A and B are shown apart, each in its own frame.
Chain A
Amino acid sequence: MPYIPHTPDEQHRMLDVIGVAGMDDLFAEIPEALRPKSFNLPEGLGEHEVMRHLETLANKNNTRLVGFLGAGFYDHAIPAAVDFLTSRGEFATAYTPYQPEASQGSLQAIFEYQTAVCRLLDMEYANASVYDGGTALYEAMMMAVRHTKRRKIVVDECVNPIYRRMLDCYTSNLHLDMTVVAHREGGSDLKALSAAVDTDTAAIIVQNPNFFGVLEDFSGLFAHARSQGALNIISVYPLMQAILKTPGAMGADIATAEGQSLGLPLSFGGPYLGMMACTKALIRQMPGRIVGRTTDSQGRTGYVLTLQAREQHIRRQKATSNICSNQALCALRAITYLCLMGPQGLANTAMHCSELAHYAARRLLKLPGAKLLSQRPFANEFALVLPRPAYHVMDRLTRRGFLPGFPLGRYYPGLENVLLIACTEKNTREDIGILKELLGGAL
């Protein structure tokens, strides 16, 4: 069957009803010069031909690499039940739950997700999610700008450079004053960060574990920033939050995370999940959807979208955000994953990944000329300084079926010899042993 909703005859009848001669008249608002001359698409193909073509393309990918690549996105194991439950049609094809009477399932799933996010990050409120971790961080920053009515932002250079690039890109026309505080050997320079925060500062933005894998306790810095009237924003690795000091415990005002580590495959970069949580004082600045639990006229529990005056379908020009796609299906994967793992399972996994990384560090430090970039504590990721450029090593090992890590030189000039190495529960001690041998051969 062709997947075309209406025939040319039906189109003509519809155009007649609304009183226009042809389809082009519907686009009269768009100047002729701006309309596409052609979409440059090839002729259509049959279903089988399309499948064969796509399989040919997909086979060019090497999906059998043993990976130690992290840098903000991690190849964690995903229980089979996550795929099964989230591919159910009721969830997979559900539309925006604007009509609560027809969307209780979707709404409850989002509500449970929000609850889990709050508990994991130790914060008071979470939204239904945004596009991805970087977008979440940008939205958090804008919350702070609106809330404080200030324009200066202090950003730690230890925040994921991809996110920092996003912040720059999104704010290029907003006239914010972005102050980046340089890292010190892969750690946050807490003194310099403190010194950079003043009474003009809207927010301080940090990350834990930081991009180099280093663990920080920002409690002191946050207390200082609060005394200056600035808001504290922290980006975290959600799976690791099961064993680390939480944003809430540190005194964060807004916590964001890339939720990919909670049951989402790497998928060549997406779709991912932007997690956001904040304190009660900031709830009206929170972008995107928030689901609340209430009771109906008969006293029955019901789930509804709440505080919708913040949102663009109510007041477009006043909305807290106009780019707040809710990744509902990705959020559903996250809550399904969290339910399957349970608090202890999550902590066990985080601990296991961390132990593997420490084992890897011990093994790799035996290589001649290798040393750690930072002497501070880390969890499941660490930066290893090599005696030669990391790219060179990367190329050689990739050809042998191993992705040894993330070369830092591209984002951190001066760290061309540094490789960022991450472990997940998918890695084994044998993998690490082979990695050490291969690395040794490439140095």
Chain B
Amino acid sequence: MIPSDLLYMASHEWVRVTDQEALVGITDFAQCQLGDITFIELPSVGDAVAQGREMGSIESVKAASELNSPVSGTVIEVNAELDGAPEKINQDPYGAGWMIRVRLSEPPQGLLSPEEYKAIAECGDE
């Protein structure tokens, strides 16, 4: 499941860019690989994020990994729901599982198209 209206990073984050804002989350493939997500650490409103730089971390029952920001700018909203219910990322990675909203300081460069991302990520029926 790779929505065609998003851009992607090789480290499995997605971004929806509209005007000067971007919504960021992780892909269905990423949540599938991680397994049951137990904890997420995100930046706070007002924090600066930079494209390709670490913006937080995510833990599941079997692994922990860094989250990288696909865009540069300032965080203007954080999905507060995830703190108490990180499983939303497993259930709905492209919807209720969104992570942060960013006001862009510059347009993102070199993100992957849905087709390009599809080549590196296919969530098999494991």
Contacts and interface: CB of A to CB of B under 8 A. Distances in A.
A283 to B, nearest CB: 10
Contacts of A284: 39, 41
B57 interface: yes
Instruction: Indicate the member of A309, A314, A318 with the most B CB atoms within 10 Å.
Output: A309
B59 interface: yes
A315 interface: yes
B39 A315 contact: no
B33 to A, nearest CB: 15
B64 A318 contact: yes
Interface in B29-59: 39, 41, 57, 59
Nearest to A284: B39
Contacts of A309: 39, 59, 63-64
Interface in B48-79: 57, 59, 63-64, 66
Interface in B5-48: 39, 41
A32 B66 CA distance: 38
Contacts of A315: 64
A314 B64 CA distance: 8
Interface residues of A, number: 5
A314 B66 CA distance: 13
Instruction: Indicate the member of B41, B59, B63 with the most A CB atoms within 10 Å.
Output: B59
Interface string A300-338: 000000000100001100100000000000000000000
Contacts, number: 12
Contacts of B63: 309, 314
Mostly, the B contact residues are strand
Contacts of B57: 318
Nearest to B41: A284
A314 B57 CA distance: 14
A38 B57 CA distance: 46
Contacts of B39: 284, 309
Instruction: Indicate the member of B57, B64, B66 with the most A CB atoms within 10 Å.
Output: B64
B105 to A, nearest CB: 21
A284 B86 CA distance: 15
A57 to B, nearest CB: 48
A309 B86 CA distance: 16
A309 B63 CA distance: 7
A128 B93 CA distance: 35
Nearest to A308: B64
Contacts of B64: 309, 314-315, 318
A306 to B, nearest CB: 10
Contacts of A314: 63-64
Contacts of B59: 309
Nearest to B66: A318
A352 B64 CA distance: 50
Contacts of B41: 284
Nearest to A314: B64
Nearest to B59: A309
A314 B60 CA distance: 12
B56 to A, nearest CB: 12
Contacts of B66: 318
A307 to B, nearest CB: 8
Nearest to B57: A318
A284 B64 CA distance: 12
Interface in A134-182: none
A314 B41 CA distance: 17
Nearest to B60: A309
B118 to A, nearest CB: 29
A143 to B, nearest CB: 15
A314 to B, nearest CB: 6
A318 B57 CA distance: 10
Interface string A47-83: 0000000000000000000000000000000000000
B124 to A, nearest CB: 25
A315 B41 CA distance: 15
A318 B59 CA distance: 12
Interface of B: 39, 41, 57, 59, 63-64, 66
12 contacts: A284-B39, A284-B41, A309-B39, A309-B59, A309-B63, A309-B64, A314-B63, A314-B64, A315-B64, A318-B57, A318-B64, A318-B66
Interface of A: 284, 309, 314-315, 318
- In order of increasing CB-CB distance, the 10 nearest A-B pairs are A309-B64, A309-B59, A315-B64, A314-B64, A284-B39, A318-B64, A318-B57, A309-B39, A309-B63, A314-B63
Given A309-B64, A314-B63, A318-B66, 9 more contacts: A284-B39, A284-B41, A309-B39, A309-B59, A309-B63, A314-B64, A315-B64, A318-B57, A318-B64
